[in-house]
Amino acid sequence: MMPLSQAIRLGSMMRPQAFGYLQQPLPFQWLRKLLGLPLGRTCALGAAYEAGGCRSTIIVATEYIPTFRGPGVAVGEASRQIEFPDCWVTILHLTSDCPTGCEGVQMVERIIAHLNDDHRWTREQIADWVESIERSQEPQDPNADVVPEAQQEALVACGH
């Protein structure tokens, strides 16, 4: 499986950028399809999701589900559950500061959405930032602190 940063870059070549949506359909779908134009837009995570071939299922929430963007999913509402590769989850669930200095410490998945939606970073800029986090998780030398085994296995699965 390709690293998250690479999937964001690849996916950003497939469709225009969306803001506030994982995947946002564009109007006149029939005409766009006929003309061979993109049918929709994707944010940085949506681009990775599409390029990585991640599967998703629609579920009805039986309890509150926090999300990386917005207020979350209430009981009884439909939600798309995306199956991200373990190596991506390892990166997405790390905590970091917003690289612009504006937010407090958050999970990387929330910062990706924040950079996309609020700062209007390009998906390529976001991929560069994610890559810096991926690289920070690689052991730098044999005498360096050891990355936990489960985390190391997930990173190796993504080509790190």
* 61-98 tens-digit pLDDT: 898 888 777 778 888 988 888 899 999 999 999 999 99
Side-chain-side CA neighbours of residue 85 (13 Å):
23
Question: Where residue 152 falls among pLDDT bands split at 50, 70, 90?
Answer: low
Closest CA to 3 of 130, 123, 114: 130
What is the DSSP-derived secondary structure letter of residue 115? H
Distances (CA, A) of 69 to 1, 37, 66, 85, 160: 25, 27, 9, 19, 27
Residue 131 pLDDT more than 80?
Answer: yes
Per DSSP, 78 falls in state E
DSSP state of 146: P
**Would you say 52 and 7 are in contact if contact means Cβ atoms under 8 Å apart?**
yes
pLDDT of residue 100: 94
Cα distance between residue 152 and residue 160, in whole Å = 9
